[in-house]
Amino acid sequence: MLDLWSIFDFLMPGYLGGAREFHDHYEVPIPRDRNAAVQARLARRLRPFLLRRLKREVATDLPENRIGQKRMVTSYKLISRGTVEEKILNQQNRKRASLQLVLGGEEQFAESLSWDEMLELIA
């Protein structure tokens, strides 16, 4: 369960409290005491960020179940803004824009440069 806290703390620091607080409020009571009220409280906090979709809605070309599988499969997807991928893409775009400003719009020249050559231009 600490993995769940870690993901949320990276995306939204403090949303589930600190690691110790999460451990005391959720990680211990849910598995040890099988506390349904605590589990429901955690589910309410997470529900706005989870998208529940059935396999038949997402992958219509696949069979409903695997061969020999008897029960339905449910898929969950975490939805959030400001993910690591978005931050990386934004950083790349900012760097690309900076390079274009330095080179004065010579796109072909800029695209042919290696990373080391770009660093030499800026240094």
Cβ neighbour number for residue 110 with a 10 Å cutoff: 16
Q: Is the pTM of this model over 0.85?
A: no
Classify 59 in phi/psi space as left (phi over 0), alpha (psi -120 to 50) or beta.
beta
90-to-10, 18, 22, 100, 112 alpha-carbon distances in Å: 17, 28, 31, 15, 21
SS3 content of the chain, % helix, strand, coil (to 5): 60, 10, 30
pLDDT digits (tens, 9 = 90+) for 39-95: 999 988 888 887 777 767 777 766 666 666 677 666 666 677 777 878 888 888 888
* Measured torsion, CA atoms of residues 9, 12, 15, 21, in degrees rounded to the nearest 10: 20
